[in-house]
Amino acid sequence: MAQQSSVNPAQLVQLGQANLAGDKRALYLKLFSGEMFKGFQNNTIARDMVMKRTLKNGKSLQFIYTGRMTSEFHTPGNSILGNTDGAPPVAEKTITIDDLLISSAFVYELDETLAHYELRGEISKKIGYALAEKYDRLIFRALTRGARAASPVSASNFAEPGGTQIRVGATANASDAYVAGNLVAAFYDAAAAMDEKGVSSDGRCGVLNPRQYYELIQAVGSNGLVNRDVQGTALQNGQGIVEIAGIKIFKSMNIPFFGNYGTKYGSGSATNPGVTSPGNTGDFVGVAAENASAASTGINNDYGTAAELGSNSCGLIFQKEGAGVVEAIGPQVQVTSGDVSVIYQGDVLLGRMACGADYLNPAACVELFAGTATAPSAF
């Protein structure tokens, strides 16, 4: 039988205690794991899907529309001096730069000295995410507005095609927006509508919320959306669906979706698809659409208010000419230095951009809606 120690546990030196009291491990180093748990990141996707122009030495950019022309038979002996109808009709659309969009943080120098992990790079990324989220949301709102608008070319007998709104499903339930068969039918309907309105098939995109996207993926065995050669890994990583009717499909949490952005939780109704919340969603998921009309501070284009966007929009399909983005200052990060850093003993990290967005060709914009037979109103 082993001999028991006669040392009293109370006599042991407690190197981890503060002043011989409290937690015995309080003073031990909390080692940094080398990993940074990042917050929810919304990837910006809209920038390369629409017309992007850079603006210099001005506050707005003008886009010119020319309507179609007619043809006529020539009468022998008559001079040819242009069609008698004076066509083509011409109209314009102006996109104005909104006020400077910023996101910033102050980094105290002492905090940087004491921290055992790198602060600035992570903060810079989060600033970029904040700007990207706003950027996408404004573009998608502009496309939604375009889908409900008539063409700027509206001369008598020469009116050009306007936007398109397509109902997903045929019931009074918003949950129709999650039925894969309904979505497939809506995409084919949208493709046909754009063909009929003379919209180029090049650069057509569709943007759905993540759950709609994954509903389509789960139904690939019956709807034939994915080439069977790419189903394996591509199917599992969420990139399985390539296109429907020539329309490339993307997912985003920044599209208007039943009065929210990207998702809506709760019981099913005409304005709620009835998705159970996964819990602990945070403050930036499913945030109700903020007001972004021309009356709002800093806004010089009309992106519509939450009320104007309505409670039944559930997806966007568009061609590259559907909307335009004008940038006077592209996404940038600035950092203070010199005397400013000395005075405040730290630096301000600032992300900024100056841009504006609006619809261009309404015929290239399609809005999906569900839960009602009445399409959302124009604004």
Q: How confident is the model at residue 229 (pLDDT cuts 50, 70, 90)?
A: very low
Rounded to 10 deg, the angle between the 210-218 and 180-196 helix axes is 100
Q: Is the pLDDT of residue 223 over 70?
A: no
Q: What is the pLDDT of residue 241?
A: 64
The pLDDT tens digits of the residues spanning 298-345 come to 899 999 998 899 999 999 999 999 999 999 998 888 888 888 889 999
For the segment 339-355, the average pLDDT, to the nearest whole number, is: 90
Q: What is the pLDDT of residue 1?
A: 54
Pairing status of strand 204-208 against strand 247-251: parallel
Q: How confident is the model at residue 177 (pLDDT cuts 50, 70, 90)?
A: very high
Question: What rounded mean pLDDT belongs to the chain?
Answer: 86
**Plot region of 238 (φ>0 → left; ψ -120 to 50 → alpha; else → beta):** left
Q: What is the pLDDT of residue 31?
A: 60
For the segment 256-285, the average pLDDT, to the nearest whole number, is: 91
Q: Is the pLDDT of residue 357 over 80?
A: yes
- Three-class SS of residue 243? strand
pTM value is 0.86
Most confident of 54-58, 78-82, 199-203: 199-203
* CB-count exposure of residue 300 (10 Å: 0-12, 13-18, 19+): middle
Q: Is the pLDDT of residue 117 over 80?
A: no
The pLDDT tens digits of the residues spanning 22-41 come to 887 777 766 655 554 554 44
Q: What is the pLDDT of residue 372?
A: 97
Q: How many residues does the chain have?
A: 379
- The full set of domain ranges for the chain reads 46-69+87-369
For the segment 88-108, the average pLDDT, to the nearest whole number, is: 92
For the segment 196-216, the average pLDDT, to the nearest whole number, is: 94
Pairing status of strand 51-54 against strand 260-261: unpaired
Most confident of 159-168, 210-219, 240-249, 257-266: 159-168
Say how far apart CA 3 and CA 112 lie, in whole Å: 53
Say how far apart CA 123 and CA 103 lie, in whole Å: 10
Q: What is the pLDDT of residue 321?
A: 94
